[in-house]
Structure 1
Amino acid sequence: MIRAGLVLMALSVPAYAGDASGFDPLAIDQCLKDATTQGARADCAGTGMEACLTYAKGKYSGDDPDFPLANCLDASHQAWEAKLTATYDAALQDQSAKGIKPAEMLRQAERSWIAFRDDLCNQARDAAGEDKAKLAGARCIRDETARQVALLLSLGDAE
């Protein structure tokens, strides 16, 4: 039943600039831009979720009540991963321009962060219990990825 819902959602025309989930990755850029112009870093992790959930609930007719949320968390996480990759690459280029040592330090910090995020989210998944473990893990991964984007963006602000 879930696969049928995925196929139907994949074939539908998205209502937003994002994918068939209804998640609009441009919402992330707008939130980060707004936060920067206001001189602060807002918590943008949940940005776009409300619109995605409304869209997903309207499109999904299956029997899994958690599917729309899981779908939107996944779409949000994928958008944050893309943003993280772009932000990390820009920070790495900036650090590389300053010499090899800072770039290598950034690479090591990112590797350590990935291990930290995975451990933290595994704990969140375990603490949530069997019935909500998947959602808790997905939410944690998305939130921690968003926080890392904000942290990497702040590296450029500190100079």
Structure 2
Amino acid sequence: MRKAGLLFWLAATMAAPAALAGDASGFDPAAIDQCLAAAETQGARADCATAGMDACLDYVRQKYTGDDPDFPMANCLDASHQAWEVKLTAVYQAALEGGEAQETLRRVERSWIDFREILCERARETGGDLAHGRCIRDETARQAALLTSLAEPQ
């Protein structure tokens, strides 16, 4: 981590507002749940992968004083990805508890992780670290949405 990034993290950790649920990144994971809930009430499938990104970017751009122009986006992509990982893990664990095909689900998820890593490494090779971060975040969000839809009663 760059020195400026570390200093930003330390300063933001000490001054993070309560609305961010203690997250110094500026990303509020509740934005994901709000997007998914809004889509559900409208009876539609929404692409919620970018939920919360605008607010996060606004927050970070106000707080970050370093010289890395990619830091705000990288910070928010990582925080968003982490929130989606939490969501995916919860959905996956629920599916394992209630499903008959637990071993099949495990194999499918392992294959998906391999697929995501290959796909997103290719994104890094062609578009750099930010492209990789977007890919990881977007693919994790899609998988969480897919598992959620498979778990819903038909």
| TM-score of the superposed pair, with normalisation by structure 2 | 0.92
Q: State the distance in 2 between where 1:16 and 1:151 align.
A: 27
Q: What is the CA deviation profile of residues 112-155 of structure 1, one whole-angstrom value per residue up to 9, with x for unaligned ones?
A: 00000000000111011xxxx11111110000000000000110
Q: Which residue of 2 aligns with 1:150?
A: 145
1:141 partner letter: I
> Is the CA contact (8 Å cut-off) linking 1:13 and 1:20 kept in structure 2?
yes
SS of corresponding position for 2:27: coil
Select which of 2, 5, 13 maps to 1:2: 5
Q: Which residue of 2 aligns with 1:22?
A: 26
Q: What is the CA deviation profile of residues 90-132 of structure 1, one whole-angstrom value per residue up to 9, with x for unaligned ones?
A: 111121xxx3xx111111100000000000000111011xxxx
Q: State the distance in 2 between where 1:17 and 1:4 align.
A: 20
> Is the CA contact (8 Å cut-off) linking 1:45 and 1:146 kept in structure 2?
yes
Q: Deviation above 3 Å: which 4+ runs of structure 1?
A: none
- The alignment of Structure 1 onto Structure 2 pairs a total of residues equal to 150
> Is the CA contact (8 Å cut-off) linking 2:9 and 2:25 kept in structure 1?
no
Q: What is the CA deviation profile of residues 42-76 of structure 1, one whole-angstrom value per residue up to 9, with x for unaligned ones?
A: 00000000000000001100011111111111110
1:36 partner letter: E
Q: State the distance in 2 between where 1:9 and 1:51 align.
A: 15
1:138 equivalent to 2:133? Answer: yes
Q: Give 5+ residue unaligned stretches, structure 2.
A: none
1:55 equivalent to 2:59? Answer: yes
| Structure 1 residue 18: Cα displacement | 5.4
Q: What is the CA deviation profile of residues 14-62 of structure 1, one whole-angstrom value per residue up to 9, with x for unaligned ones?
A: 3423501111101101111111122222000000000000000011000
Q: Give 5+ residue unaligned stretches, structure 1.
A: none
Kindly tell me: are residues 18 and 35 of structure 1, through their superposed partners in 2, closer, same or farther at Cα, counting changes over 3 Å? farther
Q: Which residue of 2 aligns with 1:76?
A: 80
> Is the CA contact (8 Å cut-off) linking 1:18 and 1:24 kept in structure 2?
no
Q: State the distance in 1 between where 2:16 and 2:94 align.
A: 32
| Structure 1 residue 11: Cα displacement | 2.1
Q: Which residue of 2 aligns with 1:115?
A: 114
| Structure 1 residue 9: Cα displacement | 2.1
SS of corresponding position for 1:143: helix
The two structures, once aligned, show a CA RMSD in angstroms of: 1.3
